Chains A and B, each alone.
Chain A
Amino acid sequence: MSDQILMKGNEAVGEAAIIAGCRHYFAYPITPQNEIPAYMAKRLPEVGGTFLQAESELAAINMVFGASAAGARAMTSSSSPGISLKQEGISYIAGAELPCVIVDMMRGGPGLGNIAGSQSDYFQATRGGGNGDYRVLVIAPASVQELADMTVKAFDLADHYSIPVMILGDGFLGQMSEPFTLPEPSGKTFDKPWALTGAKGRKPNIIASMRLTPEDLLEKHNLELQKTYQEIEANEVMYESYLLDDAEYVIVAYGTSARISRSAIGELRKEGIKVGLFRPLTLWPYPYKELKAVSDRAKKVLTVEMSLGQMVEDVRLAVQNDSKVDFYGRTGGMLPVSEEIIRKVRSYGG
């Protein structure tokens, strides 16, 4: 077993990106993810990469657009208000079918909000804040180890499907230090015959999202994108089950909320209450089928979020029985409280 090291979640994302072969990173400072640009500013020059502090989030995501169009693995990171600014670029990247990795360490909103961790941008991440019929593959890690592992995987997924992939964490995950094992590079390589490299010996490559002509109908293009999305839905769903085999009550939570839920489950199990955790690791594609199967066997499904009810909409879509679905959330950068989760689950027993 490899040696464990201690790093903040934000730094682990940076090192994992370098392990994945990312040599081009562009970002604008925003709390609580500032350790990522600081780490990249120090590390990328050591490995012959490019770190560039952009003049804005708009510029950063469009630099990613350019670097990705050039065929390179490129990443940007930000937090909620900054991700709002990147939405234009994300839509263009999706439209142009370019791969990239975007890290969002969510903080409290709306507006400037605060700098504490939050999960109130689930809608923004999974529904897309940019214009048009597009999807972003969203991965929600719950530990520093998972942040690192999933960052490596995110680059492969982005290149395989030629789409933007988002690592959706929160300020707590980004700021916490945990021992973890550095991930190995996947070793996968991807041909990018579409990349802009100068048209030597070939016809020019064009990277564009505008489609005006009858031969290149936007509807046709969007339907092709949809096929890719269906393939992702069929193959890339990730989730974790914890003590669900005999569970009468199911808690559904991701990221930091899932960690808190897990400790509540430990307490409840001591009382003999059969409760388990369903933790989606991909938020899009969402594990609808898997959650449906689990919830069919359960009496109650409690969604725990650091928001006032966003993922719970996907839980309802999965469970298809609203009377079974309950919700507990904290907002504005506050954490769900284990005791409150315990109290709720106890109450289901009558």
Chain B
Amino acid sequence: MEAKAADFKYVYDRPKSLVDVPTHYCPGCGHGIVHKILAEVIDELGIRDDTIVVAPVGCSVLLYNYIDVDGCEAAHGRAPAVATGLKRVHKDKVVISYQGDGDLLAIGTGEAIHAANRGENFTTIFMNNAIYGMTGGQMAPTTMENQVTKTTPYGRDTADVGFPIRGCELVNTLEAPVFIERCAVYDVKHVLKTKRAIKKGLQNQIEGKGYSFIEVLSMCPTNWGISPVKSAEWVKEVMEPYYKLGNFRDL
């Protein structure tokens, strides 16, 4: 029997705030998942007309092409400073600083820590995939011990270049932030948890509570040199024991 359109009912659709274009992301990359989550949350909170995203230097620099809201590029590491400037002008808008690990914990550590310390009323989404994606797979501040990258060809030697930095724990030493949570997107359960955390971060901002920091452990199959499925497993088995998932603060 032939099915008719009338026989079907819509149970799922592309979020309205997610622009209907192909992304430039590699198969298995976590950015697409988090972009979609962000678009869904923007729809659910009804803030499409009031949101400004700040895109970092890194793979997600084109974020503003995928989310249907006002967008601003920032120089490498400077997204929290740009977001500060935007938010200080538009106190009633929702400002999101979307940053990678090199951006937030290497070149932009100062900006990230001080925006958090001031308790700027914006939301940071921190994508930690333990590697520099856009430049072709160099060591990130969050690269795991012994992890092989283009610039740690013998594995990350902690005696030489130090240990991976834990973003949530660092931010958790500060007084001002109101919400700090580390999430992952390697399976559906964790994707849903990530969505709840991002939604909470944006709600905090809407309510004027202050700074929220959401770290997402993400996959980079291309630069890790393993398949998307293996990458999801790698987050769970290698990253998660060092970067403990969970909420650090919820005021």
Contacts and interface: CB of A to CB of B under 8 A. Distances in A.
A59 B78 CA distance: 7
A210 to B, nearest CB: 6
A232 interface: no
Interface stretch (B49-57, B98-106, B151-159, B205-213): B49-57
Interface string A178-208: 0000000000000000001111110011111
Q: Secondary structure at chain B's binding surface: helix, strand, loop or mixed?
A: helix
A197 B71 CA distance: 10
A62 B83 CA distance: 9
A67 interface: yes
Given A96-B73, A206-B71, A74 B85 contact: yes
A70 B113 CA distance: 23
Given A24-B89, A62-B82, A68-B85, A207 B75 contact: no
Nearest to B85: A66
A24 B86 CA distance: 10
B110 A207 contact: no
B111 A55 contact: yes
B69 A59 contact: no
Most chain A CB atoms below 10 A, which of B55, B70, B85, B89: B85
12 contacts: A50-B89, A58-B110, A59-B114, A62-B81, A66-B82, A67-B88, A92-B75, A196-B71, A196-B90, A197-B90, A201-B49, A206-B65
A86 to B, nearest CB: 11
Contact of B78 (A69, A71, A89): A89
B81 A69 contact: no
A201 B54 CA distance: 20
A254 interface: no
B78 A210 contact: no
A140 to B, nearest CB: 27
Interface of A: 24, 26, 50, 52, 54-56, 58-60, 62-72, 74, 88-89, 92, 96, 196-201, 204-210
Contacts of A72: 89
B99 to A, nearest CB: 13
Given A56-B110, A59-B111, A197-B93, A70 B78 contact: no
A72 B114 CA distance: 22
B75 A52 contact: no
Contact of A204 (B68, B83, B86): B68
B64 interface: yes
Given A58-B111, A200-B50, A210 B73 contact: yes
B48 interface: yes
Given A52-B84, A204-B70, A209-B73, A62 B78 contact: yes
B64 A69 contact: no
Contacts of A198: 49-52, 69-70, 90, 93
Contacts of B165: none
Contacts of A71: 89
A70 B50 contact: no
B84 to A, nearest CB: 5
Nearest to B95: A66
Contact of B81 (A63, A201, A204, A210): A63
Contact of A89 (B61, B75, B113): B75
A96 B55 CA distance: 14
A26 B49 contact: no
A194 B61 CA distance: 19
Nearest to A49: B88
B72 interface: yes
Given A55-B114, A58-B110, A198-B52, 16 more contacts: A52-B84, A55-B113, A56-B110, A58-B78, A59-B111, A63-B81, A63-B84, A65-B75, A72-B89, A198-B49, A199-B68, A200-B50, A204-B69, A208-B55, A208-B71, A208-B73
B245 interface: no
Nearest to A212: B62
B61 A210 contact: yes
B191 interface: no
B94 to A, nearest CB: 8
A55 B116 CA distance: 12
A56 B108 CA distance: 11
A69 B68 contact: no
A206 B82 contact: no
A199 B49 contact: yes
A38 B238 CA distance: 50
B33 interface: no
10 closest residue pairs by CB, A with B: A66-B85, A62-B81, A70-B89, A200-B49, A55-B114, A208-B73, A67-B85, A66-B82, A62-B78, A63-B85
